[in-house]
Structure 1
């Protein structure tokens, strides 16, 4: 499921840009999922917006390792300017990644692409 949030003056996610659930279905084994939201007739706010991804923790999404699918990949970036997470009712900026393969100076960001057309 994705949700769309307006960006406040401090560059943080704030109120909904679109306040309804947008359920996305990913077919097993499909690497790319295209989602067309043109029917929503959204106006892009001056301060920008955030696309939030929420995994639905359902029995059908669980795999044999008790993780939830679909899995969305991450890239490792030098800036965390656009990455936030929402937990326990609070938005927080993503902290640097402490993995063994990547430098601690990188930040995990969702590997998603957004195309805006008019």
Structure 2
């Protein structure tokens, strides 16, 4: 019985250290941003249904609000929208501005593939 408890404790200590958190796509936006509105019209309605969303779910951050503690090391920059792919608390790539629906997924896929987090197509 003691071996089972020791094994369980070992797994509980080692597993969180070896499991990496998934990437997320952080969208820094502000009220009145015309390019944010365009993203909301063209990409936001479908993003949750894409392979990219399964790899890097969208998280929205309003620049008028305080920056969440887990993003304290990420500089949102002056332009909105700015899309930052974050993994394990660090930036792995960004898209400054909204390049339009013809280019958005290509740029995002390049960031994800360079980080080794390619979207899994089904």
What TM bracket, shorter-length normalisation? under 0.3
Normalised to the residue count of structure 1, the TM-score between the two structures is 0.22
Normalised to the residue count of structure 2, the TM-score between the two structures is 0.21
- Structure that is richer in helix per residue: 2
- Structure that is richer in strand per residue: 1
